[in-house]
Amino acid sequence: MSEFTFQLRCVQFSGPNAQSQVDFFEGVNVVCGSSDTGKSYLAEAIDYMLGGAELRTFDEVKEYDRISLSIESGSGDRWSLQRALSGGGFKLVENDQDQSIVLKSNHSHGTTDNLSGFLLEKLGLLNKKILKSGAKSTLQSLSFRNIARLVIVQEEEIVSKGSPFWGGQFTTKTSELATVKLLLTGVDDSAINTPTVKSIDNSGKIALLNDLIVEITADLGTVDRLDLVSQMEKIGASIEVQRQSIVLNEKLLAELLKNRQHNILQRRERSERTDEIVDLLTRFDLLRDHYDVDLERLEAIVESGSLLVYVDKIDCPMCGAAPCNQHFEDEEDSDVASVVQAASAEMIKIGKLKSDLVRTIEELQLEHEKLIRNQLNSQKEYEEIERSLRDALSPATGETKASFESLVELRQDVSKKISSFERIDQLSQRKSLLEKEGTSTSGNTASIVRIPEIIGNSLSMKISSILTEWNFPGECIVSFDKGSSDFIIDGKPRGSRGKGLRSITHAAVSLGLLEYAQENSLPHPGFLVLDSPLLAYFKPEGDDDLLLKGSDLKEKFYEYLITHHSRDSQIIIIENQHPPMDALQGVHLTVFTNNPSEGRAGLL
């Protein structure tokens, strides 16, 4: 890991009564789980803590008021950045010291009192300049925000049809491509001299603005702006209703699963107690039979003994001896009486034991009957829970989730159209200003952003090698198209493919840029955040994405990352699906279950 790189270590949300954090490590990090658990918001929070303008809010965020981001450099230095959710500057603590300083949020060229300058100095890129306008040859100071979009790729960017190297805004295209050129060559544009132009010819700009306005208007078609705003409000209301329905259903599902588990445990305990009682009753019946036999034996002893005690003494029928002359060598009369008395006492004792035993048997029989009744009631309750679970997991629930996702996509589409109207307004205002300034002719002072052909070819070969190792469909022949500033794969423009393949190839381009910089000791932050690079497996679009059905690209994707990026770099993958089982040992995994009773439910 180069000393001019850094990696993310921890993102922590804090509030007066709440705290939540996600830790990151060197190598491959995967944050996965179902939708609506805060995964994409985590990527947005990282971008916000590296200088992003603002961060959206929702209900779960209300408990928190600030975010902390821990960073570690290649040289082992650690920094902690803290920022309020509402915006403002950054509090910086270096190497866990007690003292802190405040960094400004706005970039300022050549100074380190702002976050951008602080980070650029750590990358060895402070004081660098890039081309802002090719037509005017004007320069601008390199900001870390120019680099951030290349290393933090949001979900809406990774599926876009435009080039991974620029965001689609014509006003920023030159500076964004100049940033890529700087990372690929290590050379900035400070050598370009900006001439002083007294007269300005605005005719070309006005024509360009006209073309842009016409193009955007044609894409919008006949839609009405007010109708779009009204539709956006209705969609927002519908999304909220369905979101609440999904949340309530998931809470109900968790409660039903908990109740079913409790019911199973209760029935198991009752069944064990019932078996125990049946065994005891069998033994007690045998004991009662023994008591009855003993009582019958003792009763016989008492009866026969009583007869012997009270029988009259007579002369011996054999010898005629009088009773007084007869000899009784075995027992005296008093001994027979003692035996009768002892037997009677034993009968009383056994009678009491038998009475206690009968009472115990009756109590056990009552408990047994009660357990049987409760077991029947529990069985009915279990069947009712099962029916409720089937209802909660019915196809209608899946249809609700699908409808919710469709509404979210529709809202994004409507939002883009509204943004197009706003873009038309901005372009029209700029056109009006240019028309007021008038036009004149001046000399040619244009500069061009060029990525050297040899470097473009090397980067294309790097991307081709990555796609080949991923088992990407086709021959994986990649070339760089200067006109679109994008890549052509197997003779087909990258942006013309389905959104699933666009996301995968965008990931390959971003990863190729990182590896090219590492192999050639060029400036690069050294980490990469990719939101939904494997979208084709989750939401396939068209025949292109279906090419991956049944393929092992997902397995090869993780295998490649583990093999090539377990050391000296950091890759953070945000996905809905879990990594393959074979990859679990090689990644640092964080799972959002979307279930409060199982593991970690979500980001917040």
Look at residue 412 and tell me if it is in a domain: no
Look at residue 11 and tell me if it is in a domain: yes
Last residue of a domain, one of 330, 364, 398: 398
Residue keyed to tokens 């008492």:
302
Per cent of the chain over pLDDT 70 is 92
User: Is a pLDDT exceeding 70 seen at residue 155?
Assistant: yes
The per-residue pLDDT for range 494-522, each reduced to its tens digit, is: 988 888 899 999 999 999 999 999 999 99
Look at residue 216 and tell me if it is in a domain: no
Q: What are the φ/ψ torsions at residue 102 (nearest 5 degrees)?
A: -105, 125
How far apart CA 289 and CA 237 sit, in angstroms, is 77
What's the pLDDT score for residue 321?
A: 77
Conformation bin of residue 186: beta by default, left when phi > 0, alpha when psi is -120 to 50: left
User: Is a pLDDT exceeding 80 seen at residue 435?
Assistant: no
What's the pLDDT score for residue 441?
A: 44
470 shares its domain with 359: no
Last residue of a domain, one of 336, 371, 398: 398
472 shares its domain with 351: no
User: Is a pLDDT exceeding 50 seen at residue 478?
Assistant: yes
* Spatial CA neighbour of 32 closest among 581, 572, 485, 526: 572
How far apart CA 83 and CA 86 sit, in angstroms, is 8
More confident residue, 383 or 588: 588
Instruction: Look at the chain and report how many structural domains it folds into.
Output: 2
What is the average pLDDT value for the chain, to the nearest integer?
Answer: 88
The per-residue pLDDT for range 541-561, each reduced to its tens digit, is: 666 767 787 789 999 999 999
390 shares its domain with 261: yes
Look at residue 422 and tell me if it is in a domain: no
What's the pLDDT score for residue 310?
A: 60
CA 558 to chain centroid, in Å, comes to: 17
We report the CATH number of the domain holding residue 76 as 3.40.50.300
Last residue of a domain, one of 369, 398, 427: 398
What mean pLDDT is predicted for residues 81-100? Answer: 91
When pLDDT is cut at 50, 70 and 90, the band that residue 126 belongs to is very high
Return the minimum-mean-pLDDT range out of 193-207, 286-300, 312-326: 193-207
280 shares its domain with 387: yes
Per cent of the chain over pLDDT 90 is 54
If DSSP states are collapsed to H, E and C, what string results for 582-596? Answer: HHHHHCEEEEECCCC
462 shares its domain with 377: no
Look at residue 424 and tell me if it is in a domain: no
Look at residue 220 and tell me if it is in a domain: no
450 shares its domain with 394: no
186 shares its domain with 263: no
Q: What are the φ/ψ torsions at residue 465 (nearest 5 degrees)?
A: -65, -40
* Spatial CA neighbour of 131 closest among 197, 207, 193, 200: 193
Counts for the chain of helices (H) and strands (E), in that order = 14, 16
How far apart CA 84 and CA 246 sit, in angstroms, is 31
Can you list the positions of beta strands (E) in 291-403?
A: none
CB distance 89 to 102 below 8 Å: yes
What mean pLDDT is predicted for residues 52-70? Answer: 92
260 shares its domain with 376: yes
Global pTM value: 0.62
Domain containing residue 349: 229-398
When pLDDT is cut at 50, 70 and 90, the band that residue 402 belongs to is confident
We report the CATH number of the domain holding residue 266 as 1.10.287
Residue keyed to tokens 């300083």:
101
CB distance 92 to 118 below 8 Å: yes
Torsion of CA 470, 475, 478, 483, to 10 degrees: -120
